Structure 1
Amino acid sequence: MPTMTLSIPPDLYRKMKEHPEIKWSEVARRAIAEYLRELENSKTEMSMEEFRRILGKNVLDEISSTPAEKYEINHKKARELEWERTKSFTTRTS
C-alpha cells in the first residue's frame, strides 16, 4: 500500500496525541474516501451556488460585464474550429 505524509498544525497534533487509542491513519483514509465519494457524486450534480463559488467573484464580475456579442463571436469561432477539427474524419458504411 502506498504511503502518504500529512502535515498538520501543532495544536491539532497535541489533541491527537491525547487519544493514542485512535488509529489516525484509518481516520484519514476514511475521510479521504468519503471526500472522493462526494467529489465523484458532485461531478454530475452541482448547485448554481456551488458553481458560482468555484468560479469566484472576479470571474463572475467579468462574465456579467462582457457584452453578449463577444460571447456570440467566440461561440461562432469555437464552432468553426470544431468543424475544422472533425471534417477530415470519414465515416465508413458497411
Structure 2
Amino acid sequence: MDEFPEINWSEVARQAIAQKLRDLQLLKKMSSKSKLTEAEAIELGRKVNKALVKRYLGTG
C-alpha cells in the first residue's frame, strides 16, 4: 500500500465491504426461495465447478 500512496485505501475498503454486503443480501434472497437442501446445493456446486474446469481447460 505504501507503493501507491495516491490511492485512497479507505475508500477501496469501503467499496469492497459494500459490494460484499450486496452479494450476501442477494445470496440470502436467492437461498430463501430455494427448495434444495444444503447437501444438494453443495453437490450441485461441485458439478458446476467440474463442468467449468472442463470447459476452460479443454479437458474431457
The answer for the alignment partner of 1:44 in structure 2 is 29
Q: Determine which of 14, 17, 21 is the counterpart of 1:29.
A: 14
TM-score by length of 2: 0.52
Distance 1:44 1:30 in 2: 21
RMSD: 2.5
List structure 1 runs of 4+ shifted beyond 3 angstroms. Answer: none
Identical aligned residues as a percent: 53
Distance 1:32 1:44 in 2: 18
Q: How many residues are matched?
A: 36
Letter matched to residue 3 of structure 2 = E
Greater percentage in helix: 2
Greater relative contact order (Cα 8 A, min sep 6): structure 1 or 2? 2
Gaps of 5+ in 1: 1-15, 50-94
Gaps of 5+ in 2: 43-60
The answer for the alignment partner of 1:90 in structure 2 is none
TM-score by length of 1: 0.34
Letter matched to residue 39 of structure 1 = L
Deviation at 1:45, TM superposition (A): 1.8
Per-residue CA deviations over 1:43-64 (Å, capped at 9, x if unaligned) read 0224812xxxxxxxxxxxxxxx
